[in-house]
Structure 1
Amino acid sequence: MTDANVADVLKELAALEDPAVRAVNERHGDDHGVNLTKLRAVAKRLKTNQELAVGLWRSGDSAARLLALLICRPKAFGREDLDQMLRAARTPKVHTWLVNYVVKKNPHAEDLRLTWLADPDPQVASAGWALTSDRVAKKPDGLDLPGLLDQVETELADAPDPLQWSMNETLATIGIHHPGERGRAVAIGERLEVLKDYPTSPGCTSPYAPTWIAELVRRREG
């Protein structure tokens, strides 16, 4: 299907629409009804196609945007392209995939991280914190970890979703990957009790930072 165009792909995605899948997704704030395994199969067949990816993104359809993020070339986007895309990604799955699959692989990731962290829009700021968490784990040199903990301690409890989730992840990531800051990270989590009572399925790790830190440290060091 190398000559696929946007209209063809949108038609195919419409045929994959499943009301049951949509109902589940809508409970999590998403607005598409395509099974993600089937979506990935379409992406595998289409292969990388930046032009098609751009066209699918511009359609505004969430399933099409998810597909676009799977077939695009992450490094082909300019800084302003990604900034505009992030601000247009208003559903959780599109937002998360854009950050994880595209922005993290783009040379403008650090510049965008700093810009988004300071943005007053919680949705945008959450992307900045997601990128910060990734850098804490992979490239911490140059980061002010005590300063990040200061900010988390001050702002986490009252932060709205999804900003609270991203800040909490950064708190846990600092505790997991940086033993020198672990005690303080755990203490902040215990004092604030953010997500302490969040329902967690069997076999999954609680998002409550002290529990998350303890479990991941046990796995890493055990």
Structure 2
Amino acid sequence: MAELAGLEDPRFREVNEKHGDDHGVSLGKLRALAKRLKTQQELARRLWETEDTAARLLATLICRPKAFERDELDVMVRGARTPKVQDWLVNYVVKKGPHAEELRTAWFADPDPVVASAGWALTTERVAKKPEGLDLSGLLDVIEAEMKAAPDRLQWAMNNCLARIGIEHAEHRARALDIGERLEVLKDYPTPPNCTSPFAPLWITEMVHRRHDT
């Protein structure tokens, strides 16, 4: 914890806080620290229990994803608080463990929009890598009906799913583009030069174009 405190940089904190993340440690330095520590499940659990954001991010990098029980991960997601901690927990821990599909279906319809956003993130992973058994038309129905009014993190997760359906599944692409155009979610999102806009129609079009180019 002392070492993490020593890595704190006010400039990083200022940028991170604009995105809802209350820490000021460079993610590169966190990864370097994790590389040095290697896998330490007990230390990861203790870091998580501090509730400190930088410590929790480090915990997701040094834990053993398969060592967590389903209910333990459910509690962790509900207590994750900040977007980056939730993102890393879902991507680096839940996705790599044996409970991902069970938690995906449980979280997807959760009344807490932050927990639901984790379910949508896991669903987007399946859309891209293992779509068999998913009702893609049904997902588009839900997105069409609910994304516009969804709270920020849930809206972001739904939008990612919309874009991924459009990118990966040509038979649903026209509808995904149409939904994105009509709902206009993230249409005005500030996007740096040389980065792809999160506005689904632009994102889908760009990614499909790149694939045809290669």
TM-score band (shorter)? over 0.9
- Report SS of the residue matched to 2:152: coil
Corresponding residue number in structure 2 for 1:181: 172
Match of 2:28 among 20, 37, 49: 37
What are the ranges of 5 or more consecutive residues in structure 1 without an aligned counterpart?
Answer: 1-9
Identity of aligned residues (%): 70
- Report SS of the residue matched to 2:60: helix
Matched pairs, number? 213
Match of 2:56 among 65, 68, 79: 65
Distance (Å, rounded) in 1 between the aligned partners of 2:8 and 2:118: 28
- 1:28 matches 2:19: yes
Within-5 A mapping of 1:107-146: 107-146=98-137
Within-5 A mapping of 1:87-106: 87-106=78-97
Q: State the AA in 2 paired with 1:24.
A: V
Q: State the AA in 2 paired with 1:156.
A: M
Corresponding residue number in structure 2 for 1:83: 74
TM-score normalized with structure 1 length = 0.94
- Report SS of the residue matched to 1:120: coil
Q: State the AA in 2 paired with 1:113.
A: R
TM-score normalized with structure 2 length = 0.98
Corresponding residue number in structure 2 for 1:4: none
Corresponding residue number in structure 2 for 1:209: 200
Distance (Å, rounded) in 2 between the aligned partners of 1:193 and 1:37: 34
Distance (Å, rounded) in 2 between the aligned partners of 1:31 and 1:85: 17
Can you list the C-alpha shifts for 1:55-105, whole angstroms capped at 9, x where unaligned? 110111111100000000111111001100000001011011001111111
- 1:157 matches 2:157: no
Give, in angstroms, the shift of residue 16 of structure 1.
Answer: 1.3
Distance (Å, rounded) in 2 between the aligned partners of 1:65 and 1:77: 15
- Report SS of the residue matched to 1:48: coil
Q: State the AA in 2 paired with 1:215.
A: E
Q: Which stretches of structure 1, 4 residues or more, deviate above 4 A after TM superposition?
A: none
Give, in angstroms, the shift of residue 22 of structure 1.
Answer: 1.3
Give, in angstroms, the shift of residue 37 of structure 1.
Answer: 1.2
Distance (Å, rounded) in 1 between the aligned partners of 2:185 and 2:14: 28
Distance (Å, rounded) in 2 between the aligned partners of 1:14 and 1:194: 37
Distance (Å, rounded) in 2 between the aligned partners of 1:18 and 1:207: 28
Give, in angstroms, the shift of residue 219 of structure 1.
Answer: 1.0
